[in-house]
Structure 1
């Protein structure tokens, strides 16, 4: 059976625990768990081979429903998690390819529940250059909660759907050794010194996605109820202190500090740490947030 998590497990330098959630906040794993298992002792051999071919040829994006006794990929509804993950995958693709594709809608989602939750989303995106429509696919992992981060997501495949089925230049395996140790410590607290410089937001609207990820790490609800945000201030930090803010914004490894106000909601302070191992379609976002509940 095709299960990317089995092979990937050996490559994790430290597998983070599943994120803890409040009792009244069901996770996508809890909501979809019943669909992922079968009471049958095993899948029918013909069905098993059909599932394997679909999963391998489509990289998990086009898989019919099969009864699984083990964890597998299956069609699922789109949750707020999947919407955020689709946006993150599109942002990663745009940054790598120099594009400005805009998310129109999430068409469908396949889920995989193993040690972690994998979201395989297929979306319709618009190229603002000529208003053309494209089919975009991204695989994103909910990597739990650790090192003061309340949300960790990993993009693994970010691509326009290929005309010829297959993996192409994508790889789901991360090389965590390629990430500088500067970005592997606990998530920072809010800075009280002048070591972080304010940056310009011109032509960097994706920063609002980072604010969305930060707020989602605390509220875990549909973000359209609280957007658009009113961005008050953005600061960016990298290992190299002598780099211009405009350059830091485009860095594959950076820490973003944001003060923003949610629509009809309170003032928030969010931190997002962005890292990459340099492989195609790979971006890691770690987020935490403080919400001023007095407003």
Structure 2
């Protein structure tokens, strides 16, 4: 079974993002009747077999009328590779780092799904594992400007089952509109237990917060951001309803991060990242909003 989820347009929806449609390439490919005569059945079968056997990652032949095609290393595939590695590190307690995009495929149906093969680095043993990630660039809602959902985040060769994102499993607390902090968020007595203001030492131990700042900028401009990096973090506040001590709120599976930072070049920025999960390994949703204050 081969999943497809896709679209380049970011639409405002009144309903939760629909589950991505599924194309069963083990039965047939999705060609129209008018296309049938123009496609060599041997070539079509070659494509189908590659898709089925690799799950969309190792495909080197793309029929003209298919919706899956090669995209390679782009600002989008680099950013989504880092998101996939973050999800894996968060789940596994590892520290795999991004080196380069080896190859990437995109599939278009109604939303965009990326299938990316990544050259990573494990700093603990200096090994270069090959990493696979599938990330859904999903429709937006709740006043967000970007929503990314991971489906596959694993080292190549490991056998971990993949399933569709279960939107119904996400805590209702995290389904409201994304908006900036209330003025009394850190002082109101009935809210104090939900919030934690990140300390400088937390930034050193949780470098992925800088990835979140980069993702905030990416939600504004989907391009190479090297001219705006690194950023100088000014303030980060995390909100979660998970019943954990303050210093552990950063590691909550479901949490909202409010951050203000200065980009390289002097832009004053604010951003929100809402991180949620559906309880399934390899799954993480990041909803993003950015404001430029100067």
Q: TM-score, normalised by structure 2?
A: 0.83
Alpha carbons 2:16, 2:167 under 8 Å: kept: no
Match of 2:9 in 1: none
Kindly indicate whether residue 153 of structure 2 is the aligned counterpart of residue 158 of structure 1. yes
Distance 1:3 1:281, change over 3 A: closer
Kindly indicate whether residue 93 of structure 2 is the aligned counterpart of residue 98 of structure 1. yes
Alignment of 1:126-275 (within 5 A): 126-162=121-157, 168-193=159-184, 194=186, 195=191, 196-199=195-198, 200-240=202-242, 243-275=244-276
CA offsets, 1:270-294, max 9 Å, x none? 100000111111000000011112x
SS of residue in 2 equivalent to 1:56: helix
Alpha carbons 1:136, 1:160 under 8 Å: kept: yes
Match of 2:23 in 1: none
The CA distance in 2 between the partners of 1:40 and 1:103, in whole Å, is 43
Distance 1:38 1:125, change over 3 A: farther
SS of residue in 2 equivalent to 1:177: helix
Q: CA deviation at 1:235?
A: 0.7
Alignment of 1:48-67 (within 5 A): 48-67=44-63
Q: CA deviation at 1:70?
A: 4.3
Task: Show structure 1 runs of 4+ deviating over 6 A.
Answer: 37-40
Match of 1:287 in 2: 288
CA offsets, 1:80-132, max 9 Å, x none? 11111110000000111110011111111111111101111111111111111
Alpha carbons 1:260, 1:269 under 8 Å: kept: yes
Alpha carbons 1:229, 1:260 under 8 Å: kept: yes
Q: CA deviation at 1:170?
A: 3.1
Distance 1:245 1:39, change over 3 A: farther
Length, aligned pairs only? 263
Match of 2:35 in 1: 41
The CA distance in 2 between the partners of 1:84 and 1:58, in whole Å, is 22
Please list every run of 5 or more consecutive structure 2 residues that lacks an aligned counterpart in the other structure: 7-14, 19-30
Alpha carbons 1:40, 1:69 under 8 Å: kept: no
Distance 1:151 1:120, change over 3 A: same
Match of 1:27 in 2: none
The CA distance in 1 between the partners of 2:45 and 2:253, in whole Å, is 39
The alignment yields a C-alpha RMSD, in angstroms, of: 2.4
Q: CA deviation at 1:63?
A: 0.6
The CA distance in 2 between the partners of 1:140 and 1:238, in whole Å, is 24
Please list every run of 5 or more consecutive structure 1 residues that lacks an aligned counterpart in the other structure: 7-12, 17-36
The CA distance in 2 between the partners of 1:15 and 1:95, in whole Å, is 24
SS of residue in 2 equivalent to 1:125: strand
CA offsets, 1:229-286, max 9 Å, x none? 111111100024x632321111110000111111113111110000011111100000
The CA distance in 2 between the partners of 1:46 and 1:93, in whole Å, is 37
SS of residue in 2 equivalent to 1:141: strand
Q: TM-score, normalised by structure 1?
A: 0.82
Q: CA deviation at 1:15?
A: 2.6
Match of 1:85 in 2: 80
